[in-house]
Structures are given as C-alpha cells and as structure tokens.
C-alpha cells in the first residue's frame, strides 16, 4: 500500500512539473547550479552555496503527523505534532507549488545493510540540493526505481500557519506511516539529511535495529569502534584515524550481528578547518563535486575556513570515497569498543573512564557535554548541555527505547565502553586548560587496542566509573582531575554541582524506566 501511495505522489509530481531530471551526475548538477546562479565554483572544483536566512536546522518548525501509528509511540515531549488534516492540506498546496517548476530527482539508498536499507526518492527545485543529497546518501549503481521514502523539497515554498498548522512559513513535516517528507521555506540542506535519519530512527527499533547518532571505524583486524558525542566533542576528528578505516561519520544502525552506515557521504563542519590538523577532511572540501555550505571564498575563490561572517555552522558535503581510508561496503562486525565523547567545560570529568553496561545506559540517556558560556572577558561559567542518546532532535521515540536496545547490544557483545573527556582539566573554562589532542589520541588508542582491559583501576567517586591509574605515555597525575586542580575544595564544589545537574536531567527518565520494568 505504501509503495502504491508513493507511486501516486510521484505520478502527481511528474504531471505537474515542467520538467523532471532523474539521477543526474555531479558534472551536470554543478553545471546547472552555476548556470542558474545557485552557487560559485571554488578553487579545486567544489560548489560553494549559501542558504540565506537559515544556516542551521529549524527545530521548532519540524512536525510529525500524529496518527494511529505514531500517537502512542512518538516522544511527544520532544516532538511537535501535526494533524493528518493539516498534513493533507500541506501536501495539496506543496504539490500545487510544483506547477511549472523544473525539478531534479534522485533515486538513492539509506542503509548499507541490504536487509535494512530504505530506497529514498528526493525531489527538489534546485540542482545544488540534488547534488548535496546525492553526496550524502548511498548511490546505487543501477537505480531500480523502487521507493520506500519520498521527500519533496521546495525551499521557495512558504507554508500558511492558519491552513497548515505550522508555526511560520517554514515547515519540515514527516508522515511516518507513509514515509513521506515535505520540506518548505528553508534552503538549509541538513534538513533533508536529518529527515531521512528521523524516519530511520522511528522505524529501526521496530525491526530490532538500534539507530545511532555516532561515527564508526574499523581496525585492520576487524575490530569496530563507535564514537558518540555532541557537536564540539571531537567525534569526526577522532574517528578519522589514519590507522583505521572509516565506516561512517554520523549515522549508523546496530543489528544483532554488526553495524552499518546509513549514509554514503560526510557532512563535515569546516569552521577553522586546518590542512595540518585534519588533512583528509581539508582535501575533501576542495574536491570536485563537494558542496560547501555558507563558506565564503576569497578573491581567488579559495575557501575562507576562518570566516564565520555567515555562520559558524559552515559545512562541506562530500561522498565517502573522497576520503583515502574508508571501509568497503559501509559495514562492520559487532563493535568491540564504544566511546562516549564529552567536552566537559566544568573540568570535572576524568580524561578517560571505563563504564559498566548500566553506567553506559545512564550516560547514553544523559548525552552530556558542557559548552562555554561565551568568549567575553570574565565569562567563566560553563553551560551544561544534555541531549538524550547524543541526538535528541532526531530521536522520535522515547529515549528509553533506544537505551534498552543499547543495553541489550552491550551485554550481548561484551563491548568495552569508555567515557572520554576532550574538555578541560586543572579547572573549568577560564581557569583550567583544554586537554590536548595528543593526550586524547593516546588514551583512545589504549582503549581501542585493549591495553586498558587488564589495567589497574580506581573507582571515581562522582559516578562510580573506573579510571586507570596509569597509561603509558600519559602523566599519571593527568588521569585524576581532582589532583590537577590547585583548589581541591573548588573541585569538590564544582563536581557536586555537575552531579546535581546530571541527576536533575535524569529524573525525567526514571519513572518511564520503572514503569517499563
């Protein structure tokens, strides 16, 4: 029935559009984008575009249709609902807006595991958005025309709040039952990518697949590692390891027998990108067919990575194969190591700690990092950020659904779980110092290699985690954050404050977990 519905929608789109170009390759899409003034050709061959008013996701304008399937499943405290009637009115109007437009369409796949793949058809009015999503999803060698998910993307369409039940003229509406997405009023391309992820995150647990907002890589002996972490914690940087192959940098599924990448590309942040610190990513941003989003160019058309005049959320979208070391097929076996990354600006958490499965579930549901309040003189108070499952905006179901699946996977796999703090030590932001990347990489290598499996540990009093007493190449004092503070009373007070913030955030999950058990 769903396939018939999608065929009907696509037939209606085809009938209304002035023209419809299917599965165009990057040279054609770049040529069209340049000829229509959608972007500029940067030095090296990347396509540089701007997204106007919206330079990030419009969270308050994202809706899920509340129907028989979603009503009792969606985490409505975290998701805005749209009535079926409003969605139908929106669908009718956005189809009418297709009249006379030249559209670009792509047949793509989401999910490198054939057992769990989604065939995705994307229709958009701009060539650069077609190139973007072609870079980001999996490109089938021979598209077979089938469709599980349909996305109709019209950035120039404006919704009517009175008629469509929206907040503004911007709308991202997901019908989970029919796997249909309507996007209007925003040119920010990340909305397309994250709509696919949100659909996957709703349906995957129903098929016993754990969806994960994480990066993943694999060693030459087949050992898989996962990296969870919010923005600014080092997820992309640390998973791009020259000694290991990248499976994917953002979205994955974990089945009973392994992990798979949902995507076929990367959507990397480019702010202050350095050719010395991240040479592989830097090179990818200059490849032909890469899309540079809101990244300014100089007079020679060279990208200005330090220019944040449009936004700090500058991005590059490129296919995985642009990178030199990528795992074939986008799949890996059962993970041996799971890493939770946090940039603790309070300076309280140890640079590395080992977690039990129960502690891992707690930190997974918490999804903690702490950001600095600002860069003005005298501003030293960190701001705690909690995002359940390290990706709450994209998790339509209640976090405990994903938390229980994670616990099951960890117990079945006996995977090691580590919390790694890439934030501050010796004091919080403004007093202490940021943990250097060389130390973090050394600790990460020790965790993944198994070097810490038999290491002597102490129990950290804040959360009961195990902290190694010694790691080769790291000063022992650096492993104990309390010892690195000159004022231990200040450390104790800050640690107590952080623990209270964790507890207050976690209370919203406790009643649900007790009820489920």
Q: Tens of pLDDT along 434-475? A: 999 999 999 999 999 999 999 999 999 989 999 999 999 999
Residue 387 is assigned to a structural domain of this protein: yes
| pLDDT-flagged residues of the chain (< 50) | 1-4, 374-379, 514-517
Please state, in angstroms and as integers, the Cα–Cα distance from residue 445 to each residue in 241, 363, 379, following that order. 10, 21, 34
**128 and 228 inside one domain:** no
Looking at 104, 107, 116, 194, which residue is catalytic? 194
Looking at 149, 172, 207, which one is the last position of a domain?
Answer: 207
CATH number where 354 lies: 3.90.228.20
Residue 274's contacts (CB-CB under 8 Å, 6 or more residues apart) are 282, 305
Q: State the pLDDT at residue 3.
A: 43
**453 and 504 inside one domain:** yes
Residue 300 is assigned to a structural domain of this protein: no
354 flagged as catalytic: no
Looking at 101, 244, 282, 315, which residue is catalytic? 315
**182 and 234 inside one domain:** no
Looking at 147, 170, 236, 413, which residue is catalytic? 236
Looking at 6, 55, 57, 337, which residue is catalytic? 57
User: pLDDT tens for residues 155-210?
Assistant: 999 999 999 999 999 999 999 999 999 999 999 999 999 999 999 999 999 999 99
236 flagged as catalytic: yes
146 flagged as catalytic: no
449 flagged as catalytic: no
Residue 400 is assigned to a structural domain of this protein: yes
Q: Using alpha carbons, select from 193, 226, 185 the residue that is nearest to residue 293.
A: 193
Enter the tokens of residue 223: 């050992």
Q: State the pLDDT at residue 237.
A: 85
Enter the tokens of residue 96: 């009418």
Q: State the pLDDT at residue 375.
A: 36
416 flagged as catalytic: no
- Whether residue 200 contacts residue 209, with contact meaning beta carbons closer than 8 Å, is answered with no
Q: State the pLDDT at residue 11.
A: 87
Q: State the pLDDT at residue 5.
A: 52
311 flagged as catalytic: no
CATH number where 30 lies: 3.40.449.10
Looking at 235, 336, 398, 409, which residue is catalytic? 235
306 flagged as catalytic: no
Looking at 174, 207, 240, which one is the last position of a domain?
Answer: 207
**342 and 366 inside one domain:** yes
Which structural domain range is residue 167 located in? 2-38+56-207
Residue 171 is assigned to a structural domain of this protein: yes
Looking at 66, 129, 213, 252, which residue is catalytic? 213
Overall domain count for the chain: 2
250 flagged as catalytic: yes
**130 and 225 inside one domain:** no
Looking at 11, 168, 231, 256, which residue is catalytic? 231
Q: State the pLDDT at residue 517.
A: 45
Looking at 207, 235, 265, which one is the last position of a domain?
Answer: 207
Q: State the pLDDT at residue 511.
A: 67
Q: State the pLDDT at residue 162.
A: 98
**349 and 484 inside one domain:** yes
Residue 157 is assigned to a structural domain of this protein: yes
Q: State the pLDDT at residue 457.
A: 97
Q: State the pLDDT at residue 166.
A: 98
Residue 281 is assigned to a structural domain of this protein: no
**135 and 186 inside one domain:** yes
**354 and 462 inside one domain:** yes
Q: State the pLDDT at residue 257.
A: 94
Q: Using alpha carbons, select from 121, 126, 195, 190 the residue that is nearest to residue 155.
A: 126
**401 and 363 inside one domain:** yes
Q: Using alpha carbons, select from 33, 87, 40 the residue that is nearest to residue 64.
A: 87
Looking at 61, 223, 249, 250, which residue is catalytic? 250
- Whether residue 217 contacts residue 244, with contact meaning beta carbons closer than 8 Å, is answered with yes
Residue 185 is assigned to a structural domain of this protein: yes
**117 and 245 inside one domain:** no
**136 and 169 inside one domain:** yes
Enter the tokens of residue 405: 């699946």
Q: State the pLDDT at residue 516.
A: 46
Long-range contacts of 305-308 (CB under 8 A, 24+ apart): 305/270, 305/271, 305/272, 305/273, 305/274, 306/271, 306/272, 308/271
Residue 388 is assigned to a structural domain of this protein: yes
**201 and 229 inside one domain:** no
């Amino acid at each position: 029935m769903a396939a018939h519905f999608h065929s009907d929608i696509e037939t209606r789109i085809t009938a209304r559009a002035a023209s419809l170009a299917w599965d165009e390759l990057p040279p054609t899409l770049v040529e069209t984008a340049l000829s229509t003034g959608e972007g500029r050709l940067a030095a090296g061959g990347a396509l540089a575009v701007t997204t106007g008013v919206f330079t990030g996701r419009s969270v308050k304008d994202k809706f899920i249709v509340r129907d028989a399937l979603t009503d009792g499943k969606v985490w409505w405290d975290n998701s805005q609902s749209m009535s079926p009637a409003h969605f139908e009115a929106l669908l009718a109007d956005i189809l009418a807006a297709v009249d006379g437009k030249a559209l670009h369409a792509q047949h793509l796949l989401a999910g490198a595991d054939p057992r769990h793949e989604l065939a995705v058809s994307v229709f958009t009015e701009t060539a650069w958005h077609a190139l973007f999503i072609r870079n980001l999803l999996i490109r089938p060698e021979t598209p077979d025309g089938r469709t599980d998910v349909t996305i109709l993307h019209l950035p120039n369409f404006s919704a009517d709040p009175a008629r469509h039940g929206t907040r503004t003229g911007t709308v991202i509406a997901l019908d989970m039952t029919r796997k249909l997405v309507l996007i209007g009023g925003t040119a920010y391309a990340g909305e397309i990518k994250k709509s696919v992820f949100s659909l996957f995150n709703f349906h995957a647990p129903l098929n016993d697949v754990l969806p994960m907002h994480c990066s993943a890589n694999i060693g030459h002996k087949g050992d898989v590692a996962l990296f969870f972490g919010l923005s600014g914690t080092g997820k992309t940087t640390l998973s791009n390891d020259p000694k290991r192959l990248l499976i994917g940098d953002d979205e994955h599924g974990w089945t009973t027998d392994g992990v798979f990448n949902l995507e076929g590309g990367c959507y990397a942040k480019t702010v202050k990108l350095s050719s010395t610190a991240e040479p592989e990513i830097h090179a990818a941003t200059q490849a032909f067919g890469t899309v540079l989003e809101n990244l300014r160019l100089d007079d020679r058309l060279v990208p200005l990575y330090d220019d944040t005049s449009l936004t700090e959320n500058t991005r590059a979208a490129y296919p995985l194969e642009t990178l030199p070391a990528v795992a074939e097929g986008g799949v890996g076996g059962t993970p041996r190591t799971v890493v939770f990354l946090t940039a603790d600006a309070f300076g309280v958490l140890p640079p590395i700690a080992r977690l039990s499965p129960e502690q891992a579930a707690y930190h997974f549901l918490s999804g903690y990092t702490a950001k600095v309040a600002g860069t003005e003189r005298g501003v030293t108070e960190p701001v705690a950020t909690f995002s359940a499952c390290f990706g709450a905006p994209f998790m339509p179901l209640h976090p405990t659904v994903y938390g229980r699946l994670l616990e099951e996977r960890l117990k079945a796999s006996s995977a090691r779980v580590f919390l790694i703090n890439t934030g501050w030590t010796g004091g919080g932001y403004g007093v202490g110092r940021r943990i250097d990347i060389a130390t973090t990489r050394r600790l990460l290598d020790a965790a993944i290699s198994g070097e810490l499996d038999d290491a002597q540990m102490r129990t950290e009093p804040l959360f009961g985690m195990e902290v190694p007493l010694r790691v080769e190449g790291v000063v022992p004092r650096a492993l104990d954050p309390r010892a690195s503070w000159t004022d231990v009373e200040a450390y104790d007070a800050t640690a107590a404050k952080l623990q209270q913030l964790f507890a207050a955030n976690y209370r919203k999950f406790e009643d649900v977990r007790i009820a489920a058990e």
